[in-house]
Structure 1
Amino acid sequence: MKRLVRIAFLAVALGFGAWVVARQWEEIRAGFARLSWQSLVLSLVAVVAALCSGMMTWRALLADLGSPLPFRPAAKVFFVGQLGKYIPGSLWPVLAQMEMGRELGVPRSRSAAAFFLTMPVQLGSGLMISGVTLLTALPGSVAPYAWVFLLIPLLAVVFEPRVINAVLGFGLRKLKREPLERPLTRRGMLTALGWALLGWTAYGLHLAAVLHEFGPSGVSAVVFSIGAFALSWCLGIMTFVVPAGAGVREAAMVVVLAPVLDRGSAIAVALCSRIVIILGDLVCAGAAGLAARRAVDPRRDPDPGKAV
């Protein structure tokens, strides 16, 4: 039964992902026609690195809460669960992670806490790195989004473990759930924040590889790409009603890229970025699933050198 539910979940997630692509297929095809295979490969490699950093952010929070998972099982839970973000609604990824985590001995409340803590860590780190990089590369590009950066002081308070632990405790009491066995620590939060910043840097390199084919290049273009991607993604994270922020992040990216690209090129870059990220999600989910399956395959001899 669990296998059927998991297959149905993957089928629905992949179906919505395909729908996102099909809606704008002509524009996507036109954009990819301008990309060299080198840029496409570099962009995909950078996306995979960014997605792995996101997984490590979540894994660091989960470990700090008391459930350290080995890399391969953690990757399977995170990446397969993340395919749920393509289904309308914001709860599918956390529900999938809660169920798969439970099979590894992770309490549902702990999986949920790690999932929901990952979002403010990503949002706060994304706003910080976008503010710094955009101001460095192109100061005028920050002005239209000054209101967004007002969230940084609020999110800085959220990063304080005492505040987070109090909020989590209150929420669990209201839900009549058992309190978390281990509170978050400052070290755990800083570890998660470090992985998140690495992830934004990798996403920026992904965007820079695509952007290079449309004109802008050099160090300043790379720095600008980091900020442009992080800011547009943060705006997408704030929108919970569409699958994976579909359309919102691309629209924001088109606006953020306006100082360096014409509108047509900016739309092409945003759509190409979207498809490479979908490919990255599929690559990571597939690789993590296969790696975890090999690790527990009963047909494999645990000691090849031992005579049967």
Structure 2
Amino acid sequence: MKRIVGALRSPVTRWVFLGVALAIAVYAVWANWADLVLAAEELSPLTIAGATVASFVYVWLTLLSWRRILTDLGSHLPLGAATSLFGVSQIGKYIPGGVWNIVAAAELGADRQIPRRRSVTAMTVAVLVSIASGAAVGCVAFALAPAEVLGVWRWALWGAPLLMVLLVPAVMNRVIAWIFRLTRREPLEHPLTARGLTASVGWAVASWLVAGLQVWLLATGLGLPMSGQTLALAVGGYALAWVVGFLVVFVPAGAGAREAVLLLVLGGSLGSGAVLMVVLASRALLTVVDLTLAGVGIALERHHKRGRVELTDRPTTLG
């Protein structure tokens, strides 16, 4: 890992890394282009617009959740800088391995005087918050889903109380400390505060609700009944699908695993063809959002570096 981090400190390696990640993300959209076009023909422009907006809001709320953890650890970033760092680093998740976005965040953060250890810790804790909150939201949402659809997912209801306990600051701090000891990493510089962690969890929970809304908009556009219960099904299905996809680290951004869970969840309410279009359209929209945010991040990063160069080159006058 040290050799990898050392290599990423080279500007050439960074651009190669970014290029590979972007190429994989673009390929993910291209590979599903035919299905996406078919879905677009079936869906109304208003539905597509609503799902696109929901996709952007979902990613933005995820950014705010991570930013709050970073602030709690001692490094506050303005929104522009946070967008730049988060947007570019998240493209790393399209490279199989599950850690590249964290490594990229550490290197980009170092350019903004954020200690690498703190960047890695913030991204790691943000991921733990996403996993715990996503699983908890999924379990609670399934409790509100239609009884005939719940079926084999009824077991998930039992996990809700335990997962919600994990989001309590005192418990989360103990879990983080245990994980860091297990992985032989230095402990947190100081425990996460109740206020900071609660805010981060709040943003994360909101992100799952919006992500489920995106899936629900696409699904209802293809025949899923519009009701509070089907919305709960979409929220719970996407949250649990993301958690499963994240844990399958050998595929980029949970590709395949996430779709498989959504197919199982929605399969009882929609035809298989419609469900396939929903999951592919959802994935494609989120990939487009990631690419857009990465583009914005690259532009902001270049502006930041150009500003630093101009400030360094500016002649100093005396008296």
TM-score, normalising length: structure 1: 0.87
Q: Is the 8 A contact 2:135 2:163 kept in 1?
A: no
The correspondence for 2:255, drawn from 246, 260, 265, is 246
Partner residue, 1:94? 102
The correspondence for 2:123, drawn from 108, 115, 119, is 115
Secondary structure (helix, strand or coil) at the match of 1:298 reads: helix
Q: How many residues align?
A: 302
User: Does 1:284 find its partner at 2:293?
Assistant: yes
Question: Cα gap change, 1:171/1:46 in structure 2, threshold over 3 Å: closer, same or farther?
Answer: closer
Structure 1 CA distance for aligned equivalents of residues 252 and 266 of structure 2: 23
Q: CA deviation at 1:192?
A: 0.7
Q: Is the 8 A contact 2:133 2:204 kept in 1?
A: yes
Q: Is the 8 A contact 1:131 1:142 kept in 2?
A: no
Question: Cα gap change, 1:38/1:19 in structure 2, threshold over 3 Å: closer, same or farther?
Answer: same
Question: Cα gap change, 1:116/1:155 in structure 2, threshold over 3 Å: closer, same or farther?
Answer: farther
Partner residue, 2:314? none
Structure 1 CA distance for aligned equivalents of residues 214 and 111 of structure 2: 34
Q: CA deviation at 1:65?
A: 1.3
1:212-231 deviations in whole A, cap 9, x for unaligned?
32012434243332222222
Q: CA deviation at 1:254?
A: 1.0
The correspondence for 1:53, drawn from 40, 55, 61, is 61
Partner residue, 1:63? 71
Q: Is the 8 A contact 2:89 2:104 kept in 1?
A: yes
Structure 1 CA distance for aligned equivalents of residues 201 and 285 of structure 2: 24
Structure 2 CA distance for aligned equivalents of residues 231 and 70 of structure 1: 31
Secondary structure (helix, strand or coil) at the match of 2:144 reads: helix
- Structure 2 letter corresponding to 1:13: A
Q: CA deviation at 1:284?
A: 1.7
The correspondence for 2:273, drawn from 245, 264, 277, is 264
Partner residue, 1:231? 240
Secondary structure (helix, strand or coil) at the match of 1:249 reads: helix
Secondary structure (helix, strand or coil) at the match of 1:145 reads: helix
Q: CA deviation at 1:294?
A: 4.2
Q: Is the 8 A contact 2:139 2:159 kept in 1?
A: no
Structure 1 CA distance for aligned equivalents of residues 153 and 145 of structure 2: 15
The correspondence for 2:282, drawn from 273, 279, 287, is 273
Question: Cα gap change, 1:170/1:148 in structure 2, threshold over 3 Å: closer, same or farther?
Answer: same
1:165-219 deviations in whole A, cap 9, x for unaligned?
4555566567776543322111111101100011111112211221132012434
Partner residue, 1:305? none
Q: CA deviation at 1:53?
A: 0.5
Question: Cα gap change, 1:207/1:23 in structure 2, threshold over 3 Å: closer, same or farther?
Answer: same
User: Does 1:205 find its partner at 2:213?
Assistant: yes
Partner residue, 2:195? 187
**Which sits farther off after the overlay, 27-36 or 84-93?**
27-36
RMSD: 2.7
1:214-264 deviations in whole A, cap 9, x for unaligned?
012434243332222222222212212211000111111111111210111
Structure 2 CA distance for aligned equivalents of residues 17 and 150 of structure 1: 36
Question: Cα gap change, 1:20/1:182 in structure 2, threshold over 3 Å: closer, same or farther?
Answer: same
Structure 1 CA distance for aligned equivalents of residues 92 and 116 of structure 2: 17
Structure 2 CA distance for aligned equivalents of residues 129 and 165 of structure 1: 20
Structure 2 CA distance for aligned equivalents of residues 108 and 216 of structure 1: 46
1:22-50 deviations in whole A, cap 9, x for unaligned?
44444333223322322222111111100
- What stretches of structure 2 of length at least 5 have no aligned partner? 1-8, 312-319
Structure 1 CA distance for aligned equivalents of residues 175 and 137 of structure 2: 26
Structure 1 CA distance for aligned equivalents of residues 120 and 148 of structure 2: 39
Structure 2 CA distance for aligned equivalents of residues 184 and 111 of structure 1: 14
Question: Cα gap change, 1:171/1:137 in structure 2, threshold over 3 Å: closer, same or farther?
Answer: closer
The equivalences for 1:1-12 within 5 A come to 2-12=10-20
TM-score, normalising length: structure 2: 0.84
User: Does 1:16 find its partner at 2:28?
Assistant: no
Partner residue, 1:306? none
